C-alpha cells in the first residue's frame, strides 16, 4: 500500500506540472466564471424588480406571454422563475446548476481528452519502455498512476469548479449558505466520479488500441454518441409531454394584461389588485403547478432507467437532485418567491439518488478492472 501511495504521489506531482492540467484548470475557471456572471446579470435584473416592492408581497411573473401556446407560457413561467428565484434570493447554487448542464458533456470530453493517450502516448513516445522496466508490478504502476493522475485531475476540478465558484460568487455577491456549501461539496464528489469514469475509460481504450490516433477516434465517437444519444432521448421524452396534463388556458384578456404589465414593467403590490380573470388564471395555474410537480416527480421516477443508458441524463439528474432537489420544489418556488427555500435534506437526496450513484460506482469499478487487466497483458 505504501509503495502504491509513493508511486501515486510521483505521478500526481508529475501530472500537476503538465500543460494539459493547467489548460483544463483555465477552461473550468472560464466556464464557472461565465456561469456566475450570467447568474449575476440575472440577479441584478431581478433585484431591480424586487426593489420596487416590500418583501413578502406578490411578485408578477416576468415571463413574456406572447406567442406560443398556454402550455409553453406555463413552462416558460415556471422554469424561468424556478431557475432564477434562488439567485434573486441570494442562492449560490444557481451558477452551478447552469454549469452542470454544460458539465454533463464537458466532463466526459475532459476525462477522455486527458486519458486517450495515457498508455498509447507513452508507448508511441517510448516512455512506456522506461516505465515498465521500473521495479514495480504493472498492477501497481497502472493503478497508482490512475490514482495519482486522477487525484491531480480531481484537485483541478475542485479548484476550477468549487474554488472559482466560491470566489466568483463572492465577487458577484451571490451568497452561499452552509447547506449550499455542503451540497456543493457533494456536487464535486459527483463531478469527480462522473469524470473519473470517462478518464479510466479513456485509459482503457488507450491501452487496448495502443495507438493515440485510434484512441482519439473512439473517444470522439463516444462523446458524439453521448451528445446525440442524449438529444435523441430528450426528443423522445418530449414527444410524450402530454402525460403532464393540460395547463389552464389563458384568455386573450389575461394575455393582454400580462403583456401590458410586462411592457410597463409593472409590479402589482398584492394579488387582490389583480383583475379577477387574471387572479383566476393564476389560481388555476397554481393548482396545475401542484399537479405538474407531482407528475414531474412521478415521471422522474419512471424515467430513471434512462440513467443506465445515458450518462448525461444520469449526471444531470443527480446534479439537479443534489444542487436543488429539483422536482419537488420546481413549481412551488415559482409561485412563492419570498418564501424561504427548504430543499430536501441531503440524506434524503442521497437516498433518492443511491441507485444512480451505485451505478456510477459499478461503472467506475468495471472500467478500472478492464484497464488493469489490459495493462497486465500489455507487451511493447
Partner 1 sequence: MISEQAVVVHAEGLGKQYGASRVVDNVSLRVHRSSIFGLLGPNGAGKTTIVKMLTGLTRPTSGTIRIAGHRMTGAAVNAKRALGHVYSNMAFYRHLNAVENLRFFGGFYRLGAGRLAERIADTLEFVDLWQERKKRVGAYSSGMRQRLGIAKALLHDPAVLLFDEATNGLDIEGRDDICELMFELRVRGKTSLVTSHRLDEIELLCDEIGILDKGKLIEQGSPSEIQGSLDGVLFKYVVRTDQPIDVEDVPGIASVRFLGQRNVVLSGQPLRDVLGQRFGADSVEEVRPTFEEACLWILRHRPNPQ
Segment interacting with partner 1 (CB under 8 A) among 8-16, 97-105, 180-188, 366-374: 8-16
Comparison of 7 and 31: residue with beta carbon closer to partner 1: 7
- Length of the chain (residues): 380
Provide the minimum distance between the beta carbon of 117 and partner 1 in the complex, in angstroms, as a whole number: 13
Provide the minimum distance between the beta carbon of 118 and partner 1 in the complex, in angstroms, as a whole number: 13
> Taking a C-beta distance cutoff of 8 angstroms, is the pair 371, 357 a contact?
no
Phi, psi of 236 (to 5 degrees): -60, -40
Comparison of 86 and 115: residue with beta carbon closer to partner 1: 115
Provide the minimum distance between the beta carbon of 113 and partner 1 in the complex, in angstroms, as a whole number: 17
State the burial class of residue 333 (Cβ atoms within 10 Å of its Cβ: 0-12, 13-18, 19+). Answer: buried
269 binds partner 1 (CB under 8 A): no
State the burial class of residue 301 (Cβ atoms within 10 Å of its Cβ: 0-12, 13-18, 19+). Answer: exposed
Comparison of 88 and 143: residue with beta carbon closer to partner 1: 143
Output the nine-digit C-alpha cell for 83.
431557475
Q: Out of 30, 127, 185, 309, name the contact with partner 1 by CB under 8 A.
A: 127
Buried b (16+ CB within 10 A) or exposed e, 264-278: eeeebeeeeebeeeb
Q: How far apart are CA 152 and CA 195, in angstroms?
A: 12
> Taking a C-beta distance cutoff of 8 angstroms, is the pair 132, 380 a contact?
yes
Provide the minimum distance between the beta carbon of 330 and partner 1 in the complex, in angstroms, as a whole number: 48
Q: Out of 56, 67, 135, 340, name the contact with partner 1 by CB under 8 A.
A: 135
Comparison of 292 and 375: residue with beta carbon closer to partner 1: 375
380 binds partner 1 (CB under 8 A): yes
Number of H helices, E strands in the chain: 17, 0
Provide the minimum distance between the beta carbon of 162 and partner 1 in the complex, in angstroms, as a whole number: 27
Provide the minimum distance between the beta carbon of 154 and partner 1 in the complex, in angstroms, as a whole number: 21
298 binds partner 1 (CB under 8 A): no
Provide the minimum distance between the beta carbon of 145 and partner 1 in the complex, in angstroms, as a whole number: 12
Q: How far apart are CA 185 and CA 132, in angstroms?
A: 37
Buried b (16+ CB within 10 A) or exposed e, 68-83: eebbebbbbbbebbbb
- From the list 355, 360, 358, the residue with the least C-alpha distance to 303 is 355
Q: Out of 54, 133, 270, 347, name the contact with partner 1 by CB under 8 A.
A: 133
211 binds partner 1 (CB under 8 A): no
Q: Any alpha helices (H) in 240-310, and if so which ranges?
A: 252-264, 276-302, 306-309
> Taking a C-beta distance cutoff of 8 angstroms, is the pair 229, 309 a contact?
yes
125 binds partner 1 (CB under 8 A): yes
Segment interacting with partner 1 (CB under 8 A) among 121-129, 196-204, 325-333, 354-362: 121-129
Provide the minimum distance between the beta carbon of 367 and partner 1 in the complex, in angstroms, as a whole number: 23
Segment interacting with partner 1 (CB under 8 A) among 4-12, 75-83, 199-207, 336-344: 4-12
Q: How far apart are CA 187 and CA 13, in angstroms?
A: 25
- From the list 197, 109, 114, the residue with the least C-alpha distance to 149 is 114
18 binds partner 1 (CB under 8 A): yes
129 binds partner 1 (CB under 8 A): yes
Looking at residues 140 to 179 of the shown chain, list those that interact with partner 1 (rule: CB under 8 A).
Answer: 140
1 binds partner 1 (CB under 8 A): no
Question: Applying CB under 8 A, what is the total number of residues that bind partner 1?
Answer: 24
137 binds partner 1 (CB under 8 A): yes
Using CB under 8 A as the criterion, which residues of the chain lie in contact with partner 1 when the complex forms?
6-7, 10, 13-14, 17-19, 125-127, 129-130, 132-140, 379-380
Amino acid at each position: 500500500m505504501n509503495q502504491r501511495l509513493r508511486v501515486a504521489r510521483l505521478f500526481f506531482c508529475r501530472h500537476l506540472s503538465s500543460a494539459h492540467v493547467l489548460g483544463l484548470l483555465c477552461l473550468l475557471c472560464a466556464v464557472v466564471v461565465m456561469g456566475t456572471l450570467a447568474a449575476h446579470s440575472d440577479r441584478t435584473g431581478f433585484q431591480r424588480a424586487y426593489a420596487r416592492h416590500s418583501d413578502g408581497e406578490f411578485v408578477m411573473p416576468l415571463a413574456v406571454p406572447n406567442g406560443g401556446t398556454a402550455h409553453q407560457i406555463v413552462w416558460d413561467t415556471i422554469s424561468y422563475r424556478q431557475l432564477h428565484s434562488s439567485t434573486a434570493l441570494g442562492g449560490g447554487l444557481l451558477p452551478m446548476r447552469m454549469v452542470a448542464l454544460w458539465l454533463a458533456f464537458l466532463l466526459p470530453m475532459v476525462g477522455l481528452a486527458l486519458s486517450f493517450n495515457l498508455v498509447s502516448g507513452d508507448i508511441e513516445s517510448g516512455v512506456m519502455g522506461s516505465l515498465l522496466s521500473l521495479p514495480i508490478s504493472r498492477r501497481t504502476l497502472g493503478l497508482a498512476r490512475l490514482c495519482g493522475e486522477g487525484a491531480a485531475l480531481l484537485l483541478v476540478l475542485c479548484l476550477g469548479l468549487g474554488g472559482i465558484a466560491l470566489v466568483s460568487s463572492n465577487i458577484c455577491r451571490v451568497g452561499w449558505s452552509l447547506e449550499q456549501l455542503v451540497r456543493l461539496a457533494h456536487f464535486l464528489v459527483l463531478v469527480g466520479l462522473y469524470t473519473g469514469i470517462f478518464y479510466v475509460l479513456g485509459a482503457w481504450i488507450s491501452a487496448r488500441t495502443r495507438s493515440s490516433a485510434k484512441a482519439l477516434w473512439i473517444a470522439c465517437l463516444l462523446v458524439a454518441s453521448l451528445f446525440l444519444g442524449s438529444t435523441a432521448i430528450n426528443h423522445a421524452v418530449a414527444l410524450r409531454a402530454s402525460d403532464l396534463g393540460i395547463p389552464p388556458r389563458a384568455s386573450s384578456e389575461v394575455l393582454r394584461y400580462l403583456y401590458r404589465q410586462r411592457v410597463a414593467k409593472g409590479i402589482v403590490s398584492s394579488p387582490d389588485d389583480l383583475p379577477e380573470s387574471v387572479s383566476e388564471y393564476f389560481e388555476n395555474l397554481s393548482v396545475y403547478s401542484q399537479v405538474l410537480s407531482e407528475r414531474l416527480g412521478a415521471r422522474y421516477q419512471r424515467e430513471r432507467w434512462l440513467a443506465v443508458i445515458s450518462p448525461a441524463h444520469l449526471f444531470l439528474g443527480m446534479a439537479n437532485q443534489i444542487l436543488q432537489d429539483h422536482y419537488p420544489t420546481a413549481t412551488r418556488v415559482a409561485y412563492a418567491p419570498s418564501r424561504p427555500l427548504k430543499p430536501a435534506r441531503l440524506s434524503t437526496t442521497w437516498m433518492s439518488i443511491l441507485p444512480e450513484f451505485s451505478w456510477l460506482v459499478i461503472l467506475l469499478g468495471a472500467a478500472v478492472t478492464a484497464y488493469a487487466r489490459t495493462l497486465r497483458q500489455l507487451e511493447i
